[in-house]
Amino acid sequence: MNCKDSLNSKQQERVHYFARQLITADDLTQDQNYQREKHRLHNRLLHGWGIICGLEIKVLDASKPLIITICSGYALSPQGDEIFVPTEFQFDLGKCFAGQDASCHSCAPAMSGAVDPAKDYFIAIRYIECKSRPVRVPPVGCGCDDTGCEFSRIRDGFEVTCIDKLPDSHDAESHVLVDLCSIVNNTKVVACPQCPSDPWIVLAKVYEKGNLLNPPSPGDRRILLTTVVMQEHLQMQCV
């Protein structure tokens, strides 16, 4: 593993503004990309990824075990994107079995592979971008037909689906534990973590055949501890 592969990134460029400069959409987009990539890199290298709060899954009606409710919450994706679910919503697991659209989001449908209800499977979430607020683009020339529409906003969104196995990023063997004392004593160099290619974060595991939510192991439902949680824990231990 070399440094380029471990970071899976490159030096970012931001726009240098000067007087009488012609500003285009590419310039403004470049500044957005610069800030977003910096933010992703910060999240991934300094904080890690996982579920920060909420995103609990419940079955509110025992007579309809396939209709689950996903509670509001917040998580950081393996790539450093923020996944924010503002309100709870329902998700039909039956679509996963029938081979229909097994995803649930506010953008265009994305077909996912169906899972076998006779085997264990997982409910997962990932970050997506949703284009919104279409506006009419003024014509370039004098032609009456030279008009079109373009989306004027990009909204941060999410997608929930069923997967038949744990993502590679959840593999416990891929996480190397480092002795903290060796880092403090400068006898161990901390390697830069690789950027996972799989964007999914597992929310829950489902029993085979039983259609009952099974509390997943810590390796399945990855929790990201915040500074606030660790500070409160230390205060409780020291009192």
For residue 2, pLDDT over 50 is answered with no
pTM (predicted TM-score): 0.83
How buried is residue 174: exposed, middle or buried, by Cβ count under 10 Å (0-12/13-18/19+)? Answer: exposed
d(CA 211, CA 79): 31
pLDDT in tens, 142-188: 655 556 788 888 889 999 988 888 888 887 655 556 677 877 777 77
Overall average pLDDT of the 45-63 stretch: 90
pLDDT in tens, 58-101: 888 888 888 889 999 999 999 999 999 999 999 888 888 866 66
Give the 3-state secondary structure of 97-120: HHCCCCCECCCCCCCCCCCCCCCC
Q: What is the mean pLDDT of residues 28-46?
A: 91
Lowest-confidence region among 47-56, 131-140, 144-153: 144-153
Point out the least confidently predicted range of 36-40, 43-47, 59-63, 177-181: 177-181
Contacts 24+ apart (CB under 8 A), 50-54: 50/75, 50/76, 50/201, 50/222, 50/223, 50/224, 51/75, 51/201, 51/203, 51/221, 51/222, 51/223, 51/224, 52/76, 52/224, 52/226, 53/226, 54/85
